[in-house]
Amino acid sequence: MTYPEGANSHPREQTARIMRLIAQEGQPLRVVLLGKRREGKTDLLRQLQSRLFESAEGPIPFLYSFAGSANDDALARSFLASLCQQVRGFLMRQEEMLLEPAAALESELQRAGLPMSLSEMARSFLSLTPSQQCEHAGIVVAQFAHREGRPVCLLLDDCEALPHNAAILRGLNSPFLSWLLTGRLPFASRLAGARAWPVLRLDPFSREDALAIAKQNCRASGITFVEEVWDQWCGVAGTSASLIEALVLAAAVREDPLDSIEQLGRVYFRDLSSGSIGNWLARRLEQAVPERLDRAPAIEVLIAAANSVESSRTDVLNPQIADGLVAEEWAEETASGPRVALEPVQRDWLLTVAAAPNVPPERSQIRRLQQLLLSVRQRGKQASDEPFLNQLRSRLMALPETGLPKIVDLEWPMLSPRISDVYKERSGGAELYWFYGTVCGESLFVLLIVLCPREPSNLEVADWRRELDQEIRLLHHGPAPPDAQAAHKLWLLVPPAAPLMPTHSERRFTWQTLSNFLDPAHTAVRTGGN
């Protein structure tokens, strides 16, 4: 998200990696860049354009946004006019020309510095009928690169404005072209799937990058930068650069200090309720569900997901509403249908503003602020436990090699479980470790171990149990066979002070207890290969 438009650019490590791929000879880079809306896809394309401009002998960069395209005829002419302008700027080594809006194609052809080959092709283009221009515009770039004998790198943005079969995308298979194409996540993902194009995920900023961005924005706005405060913020809210910029701007407008996490939290929840961030999210929800009568059930589904540790299905909504939520990135497509998928800022907005519409906003802000401060305190405590937890994580990931501990003799008498694979994912603040293997050498089983940063709620445990039950059904294509039913387990690893009484047939261990069981000196050798 960018709050507001035109946020400051910050160098990305991913830019350098992509540049190395573009520079490879014999294998042009062609990928669809996937990322959440306003998290820096356009900024990454601009950085690539700038880096490519630095090398006069390298590929010619061509950055174009399809946003606001009025019709196919106007799009085709605008596309070629921008190509002429940027090629001229590159060859004349005048980078400032890339920042200027392109003139009409006829005017661009009158300016000096355009290669003869491109000028001839553009004039031939103008002699075509409008329908022929739509068909031909995308091919001109490839023809130009071929005639000049040098590659062109297309950086195409906002492709959601195009139909899937857009003629302007023809010619992308030319060996003289490399390209990155991006747009809103649902469209870009479907386009890549339909054409079997490879995809590349936009990398989030690191904690260090986020702190540098916060420092840069604070100093530019005359606000004191306190590194500890922003480090605490990144620990609970993530490293979104655009959100950091929005918070600094909101504080600067009201001349609020950001000297403590409490002050930063107050600015955040106030802006969610009545500022630019909340207004932007409200408009996105309105665009997803334009009809007011449909909005209430949609919000109910979203709030249920915001209160849960797992994504929620949207099959209780009609397909049109579900499609709208996907288009505006409140949900995502999965093999089983659309499911709600919320970013932290969306979750916070729902729980602050939408979950209790009749509660005074100030009270909702205070409640959410207290929850934020509690999370910060809990993470501060976790920081001191991190070396120990890292050791525990390593022991969990090594179970396919080291085998289960001897405690399995009590958990799985006579079953001789053996682990062959492990998959790790995050769910809220917890870490889920999915272990797959066999019992009795024949039946498949699943062990789900959840590393909990705090005492889990009954709702969270119920969600994890449902996820495990669903995985069991998928693994066995239905109910588990009798000899495997007793093998599937849910283990929770909880902090030392948390209660060990189960609530949903799970087994609970303290971090230290299971770590001791997983100590190599205490483990039985039960590996997948034995």
Report if pTM > 0.85: no
CA-to-CA separations, 200 to 18, 29, 185, in angstroms, rounded: 10, 11, 12
State which of 123-132, 280-289, 340-349 shows the largest mean pLDDT. Answer: 280-289
Average per-residue pLDDT in the chain?
A: 85
Q: What pLDDT, on a 0 to 100 scale, did the predictor assign at position 167?
A: 81
Is 459's pLDDT higher than 60?
A: yes
Percentage of the residues of the chain whose pLDDT score is greater than 90: 43
Q: What pLDDT, on a 0 to 100 scale, did the predictor assign at position 224?
A: 96
Q: Locate tokens 């003139």: which residue?
A: 103
Within 183-283, strands assigned E span 199-201
204 DSSP assignment: P
| Position 45, amino acid | L
| Tokens matching residue 469 | 């039950």
Alpha carbons 453 and 379: distance in angstroms, whole number: 8
Q: What pLDDT, on a 0 to 100 scale, did the predictor assign at position 409?
A: 53
Is 229's pLDDT higher than 90?
A: yes
Is 120's pLDDT higher than 80?
A: yes
Rounded to an integer, the average pLDDT of 8-32 is 86
Is 528's pLDDT higher than 60?
A: no
Rounded to an integer, the average pLDDT of 279-293 is 94
Reported as type and span, the H/E element at residue 491 is strand 489-494
State which of 124-133, 256-265, 291-300, 423-432 shows the largest mean pLDDT. Answer: 256-265
DSSP-based helix, strand, coil % in the chain, nearest 5: 50, 15, 35
| Position 52, amino acid | L
9 DSSP assignment: P
Burial group, residue 279, by CB count within 10 angstroms (0-12, 13-18, 19+)? middle
The radius of gyration of the chain from alpha carbons, rounded to an integer in Å, stands at 27
Count of other CB atoms within 10 angstroms of residue 347 = 16
| Position 413, amino acid | P
Strands 30-34 and 199-201: what pairing? parallel
| Tokens matching residue 326 | 């996907």
Is 479's pLDDT higher than 90?
A: no
Is 253's pLDDT higher than 70?
A: yes
Alpha carbons 5 and 38: distance in angstroms, whole number: 9
Is residue 4 reached through a cis peptide bond, with omega within 30 degrees of 0 on the bond before it?
yes
How many Cα atoms are found within 13 Å in the side-chain-facing hemisphere of 224? 9
Q: How sure is the predictor about 24, in pLDDT bands with cuts at 50, 70 and 90?
A: confident
Q: How sure is the predictor about 62, in pLDDT bands with cuts at 50, 70 and 90?
A: very high
3-state DSSP call for residue 35? coil
Q: CB–CB of 144/152 below 8 Å?
A: yes
Q: CB–CB of 269/352 below 8 Å?
A: yes
Q: How sure is the predictor about 470, in pLDDT bands with cuts at 50, 70 and 90?
A: confident
Strands 430-439 and 443-451: what pairing? antiparallel
Task: For residue range 211-223, list pLDDT tens digits in order.
Answer: 999 999 999 999 9
Q: How sure is the predictor about 453, in pLDDT bands with cuts at 50, 70 and 90?
A: confident
Buried b / exposed e over 24-49, threshold 16 CB at 10 Å, is: eeeebbebbbbbbbbbbbbbbbbbbb
Rounded to an integer, the average pLDDT of 290-305 is 90
354 DSSP assignment: I
Is 169's pLDDT higher than 90?
A: no
Is 423's pLDDT higher than 90?
A: yes
State which of 277-281, 313-317, 512-516 shows the largest mean pLDDT. Answer: 277-281
Rounded to an integer, the average pLDDT of 201-206 is 90
Alpha carbons 370 and 157: distance in angstroms, whole number: 40
Q: Locate tokens 């702190």: which residue?
A: 211
Residue 1 vs residue 169, higher pLDDT: 169
Q: How sure is the predictor about 69, in pLDDT bands with cuts at 50, 70 and 90?
A: low
Task: For residue range 340-384, list pLDDT tens digits in order.
Answer: 888 889 999 999 988 777 888 899 999 999 989 988 887 777 777
Is 179's pLDDT higher than 50?
A: yes
Least confident of 97-106, 345-354, 412-421, 478-487: 478-487
Q: Locate tokens 């002699």: which residue?
A: 127
Residue 24 vs residue 349, higher pLDDT: 349
Q: What pLDDT, on a 0 to 100 scale, did the predictor assign at position 138?
A: 83
Rounded to an integer, the average pLDDT of 115-128 is 91
| Tokens matching residue 158 | 């906002």
